[in-house]
Structure 1
Amino acid sequence: MPPSALPDGDPAPPTGELPASALAALASTDLGMYVHVPFCSVRCGYCDFNTYTLTELGGPGATIGLDSYADAALRELDLAAGVLGSEVPAVSTVFVGGGTPTMLRSNDLVRVLGGIRERFGLAAGAEVTTEANPDSVSAESLAELAAGGFTRVSVGMQSAVPHVLHTLDRTHDPENVARAVAGARAAGLQVSVDLIYGTPGESLADWRTSLETAISLEPDHVSAYALVVEEGTRLAAQVRRGVVPAPEDDDEADKYELADELLSAAGFGWYEVSNWARDEQHRCRHNIAYWAGTNWWGIGPGAHSHVGGVRWWNVKHPSAYAQRLVAGQSPAAARELLDDEQRYDERVLLGTRLVEGLPVGDLRGSGRAAVAGLVADGLVDGVEAVSRGRVVLTRRGRLLADTVVHRLLAA
């Protein structure tokens, strides 16, 4: 089943060059690196990410596979270094996602990180994260990642309940989550666990079990996302045929409230609608940089990048990606130059999702006028709005974040 389609955009130059305006403030802005590893052992029925099984890629004879991926990523890093030039700052955060990054050998992940370090440098205290499937890591591989410079691992737990994992087509053994967390801890890595709620057939008691199990692992960070049925996925086809029920808004709202209640009681504080951390030090700085609209370069097939108001995205198929780089060309499929209206919309959309909120003064007239009504409706914290001049969502507001944004952006 193919991943979701790339957006439309303007042609991207084969050299990958960026307009001078995009590079003007590069030296004074944090730079992050995202590395997309597009491999999975199986495709989960709910997933529309740009991932491929080795069978879909044609097996060992494919143009790019597990053994050659690191070389292709290093070629794109060479391109990035040439495009960004000598004024580029040291990289503040690195996030390796997928797919299943830990399908690659640990030494290949370390080799890609080494390529970033050699070409750009890593800032003091840089955060370096990899996502991990609990079945594809060991105490030894995690120790190798830590020794190679990784500081954080995000474990794809999703659920602690076997029938929920089965519906999601997750193949990992739930007991291996605890082993992965223990191995990461022993290696000195910070640990996040990722959860999904709203799976068809998941009861509120099931969700409580998953939350309590996650909390018992004593991670530094928890992400909890509502299941979204994406068009073109196997899950969407099952819902359409009536094989499984569609997620219900009220059910997902109940589960979000339970997550916030249990995580808060366990000492986790929310800092973004779907993310909780033990303290400010353990928030995911890489994702915060996305939400703040700073610069990042995305390495890998289908990866997206943003530098100085220019956003671009790479070709999706791993073979096409590798072939372009071997030919000395940028793998970018298309790009867009964000205008002032788009930047404003994104600032409101992303800023309101954060615990620090959005300054009321950053809103245009109609948005500022909407704040009082949002406070009256219990969606925005009235004390924060009056005393600190910030739009901060209440728990109910977090459940209806899209509604809040729509009202703030209404003309």
Structure 2
Amino acid sequence: MSPDRPAPPFGPEHGFGLYVHWPYCTRICPYCDFNVYAAKDRDNAALIKALGDDLTRHARMLTGHPKLGSIYFGGGTPSLMAPADIAALIEQAANLFGLAPDAEITLEANPNDVLTGDLEGWAAAGVTRLSVGLQSLDDEALAFLGRDHDAAGARKAQALAAQYFPNHTIDLIYARPGQSPDEWEKELSDALSLGAPHLSLYELTIAERTAFGKRAERGELVPMPDDDQADLYELTQSVAEAHGLSAYEVSNHARSAETQSKHNLTYWRGGDWIGLGPGAHGRLSLGGERIATHAALRPADYISGIKPMASHVEGEHLSPLDTARELLALGLRPGEGFDVARIETLTGSPVPEETLAVFESQGLIRRDVSRIALTMDGRLLADRIAAELSP
């Protein structure tokens, strides 16, 4: 692209990544709404081959794309993968697409896998960043969340991860039923004192098809009221800020720009990413069109459906309007904000000035020419603001 031409409203100019979904877990957590299956004793050779064939298929069709800026192994529990299989996929991606010099390669891991896993092997495979699912530092809460580790194990896992992967992140789940502000402030402060350069802090969501969702239907579990959740969210921001990890996105906190998640920024900025693995989603740009891909959910269906010699991308061709709505909803999440001119390029119509003015007067957004960003109060109403600004 010519340096004097503006970047298109979507596509690899805004980031290019690879997401690999590993669908197996040793235990399925009661709050999990992802496409996951019990690991049991499985022969994973067919799935590993399918992932490689799927990557080859994408490379045949994305010949004009730049080098990959990130690879993210998610799930499920991708730390259950053999390091040799992780290394092979990374090497194949590097051979097919190339890796940017500062490419970020993340592996999600449960604490017990960190304590018993081959961290040297992960690093040798090419992993540069570990995402450790602590979820809590309270034993009672961990039991409630169905985790198979305790608080002591979580602390040990984070310390071990830091030795091998200075750029790592930890996940915590808060706004659990009955959780008080004092309890959460202590737990969050304890987690921040561990020294991780990045934290992902998520409010507990009760999804219908999960074990928690079924318990809620029976009245056995009562989700925290929305107002109480909002209070804990505001508390989260102030405590994290005081520890030097400000929010660069609604739920994500980093010590510096260098420790922000490059892969997730690709999502929020409207970049392209390949989705490999059962149930994986992707967004690809070809010929000026935005294509949403969604792999088959069941591992057996995914494996049997891969055609490495395919000559076209199978997926839904999004309309400019659908693309604009998605870019807006995602683009409002990071603190850096979003250029609404990108929406206007797609729709041919301006974002309503009156609505922007109202949100600005209410202290919900900040504006800099055509760029808008949510304020702290605005983050609490992110979905509503995106809906009202949506074309």
| TM-score, scaled relative to structure 1 | 0.84
Verify: 1:359 aligned to 2:339, yes or no: yes
Q: Which residue of 1 aligns with 2:264?
A: 287
Match of 1:313 among 291, 294, 303: 294
- Determine whether 1:263 maps to 2:240: yes
Q: How has the CA–CA distance of structure 1 residues 322 and 185 changed in structure 2, closer, same or farther, with 3 Å as cutoff?
A: same
Shift of 1:145: 1.3
Letter in 2 for 1:339: S
Alignment deviations for residues 69-104 of structure 1 (CA, whole Å, 9 cap, x no partner): 32321121222222223x332211101100011112
| SS of aligned partner of 2:118 | helix
1:41 to 26, 34, 45: 26
Deviations 1:316-368 (A, max 9, x none): 1111111223x6577x9962111111121122212222212123555654532
Q: How does 1:328-343 map to 2 (within 5 A)?
A: 335-343=315-323
Q: What is the letter of the counterpart of residue 52 of structure 2?
A: L
**Contact map agreement 1:158 1:196 (CA 8 A) in 2:** yes
Where 1:137 maps in the other structure, the secondary structure is helix
Bigger mean CA deviation after superposition, 364-373 or 163-172: 364-373
Higher deviation after alignment, 363-372 or 397-406: 363-372
1:381-396 equivalences in 2 (<5 Å): 381=366, 385=367, 388-396=369-377
CA contact (8 A) 1:197 1:225 kept: yes
For the residue of structure 1 that corresponds to 2:37, the secondary structure is: coil
Per the alignment, residue 354 of structure 2 pairs with: 369
Note if 1:243 corresponds to 2:224: no
For 1:94, give the aligned amino acid. I
State the distance in 1 between where 2:95 and 2:76 align: 25
The CA deviation at 1:284 is 0.3
Going from structure 1 to structure 2, the CA distance change for 1:27 and 1:373 (only over 3 Å counts) comes to closer
Q: Distance in 2 between matches of 1:163 and 1:200?
A: 12
**Aligned position for 1:79:** 57
CA–CA distance in structure 1, aligned partners of residues 251 and 12 of structure 2:
31
Q: Which residue, 377, 387, 391 being the options, matches 1:406?
A: 387
Contact 1:296 1:306 in 2 (8 A): yes
Asked if the contact 2:337–2:373 (Cα under 8 Å) also holds between the matched residues in 1, the reply is yes
Q: Mark the CA change 1:336 to 1:255 in structure 2 (over 3 Å): closer, same or farther.
A: same
- 1:234 aligned to 206, 211, 222, which one? 211
Give the letter aligned to residue 40 of structure 1: C
Q: Partner residue of 2:4?
A: none
- Residues 12 and 272 in structure 2, CA contact (< 8 A), matched pair in contact too: no
2:282 maps to 1:297: no
Cα distance in 2, alignment partners of residues 47 and 140 from structure 1: 23
Going from structure 1 to structure 2, the CA distance change for 1:34 and 1:366 (only over 3 Å counts) comes to: closer
Query: 1:127 & 1:54 partners in 2: Cα distance?
Result: 27
Q: Which moved more, 1:34-43 or 1:97-106?
A: 97-106
Q: How does 1:14-29 map to 2 (within 5 A)?
A: none
Change (3 A) 1:118 1:100: same
Aligned to 2:352, the other structure's residue is in SS state helix
Q: Residues 227-267 of structure 1: CA distance to partner in whole angstroms, max 9, x if unpaired?
A: 21111111011111111112311121111111101110011
| 1:70 corresponds to which of 48, 66, 75 | 48
Correspondence for 1:210 among 187, 198, 208 = 187
- Aligned residue in 2 for 1:133: 110
Q: Matched residue of 2:25: which SS? A: coil
Q: Is there any run of 5+ residues in structure 1 with no aligned partner, and where?
A: 1-24
Equivalent AA in structure 2 for residue 318 of structure 1: P
Output the amino acid matched with 2:305: R
Could you tell me whether the CA contact under 8 Å between 2:340 and 2:351 is conserved in 1?
Answer: no
Equivalent residue for 1:50, pick from 35, 38, 49: 35
Distance of aligned partners of 1:28 and 1:253 in 2 relative to their CA distance in 1, 3 Å threshold: closer
Q: Which moved more, 1:300-309 or 1:387-396?
A: 387-396
Name the aligned partner's letter for residue 350 of structure 1. L
- For normalisation by structure 2, the TM-score amounts to 0.88
Q: Which residue identity is paired with 1:342? A: D
Where 2:374 maps in the other structure, the secondary structure is coil
The more displaced of 304-313 and 138-147 is: 138-147
- CA 1:296 to 1:211, structure 2 compared with 1: closer, same or farther past 3 Å? same
Q: Quick one: distance in 2 between partners of 1:265 and 1:107?
A: 41
| Residue matched to 2:325 | 345
Runs of 4+ with deviation above 6 angstroms: none
Structure-2 separation of matches of 1:26 and 1:377: 33
Q: Which runs of 5+ in 2 are unaligned?
A: 1-9
1:287, distance to aligned residue in structure 2 (A): 0.5
C-alpha separation in 2, matches of 1:162 and 1:95: 29
- Corresponding residue pairs, total: 372
Deviation of residue 193 (structure 1)? 0.8
CA distance in 2, matches of 1:380, 1:232: 35
Report SS of the residue matched to 1:138: helix
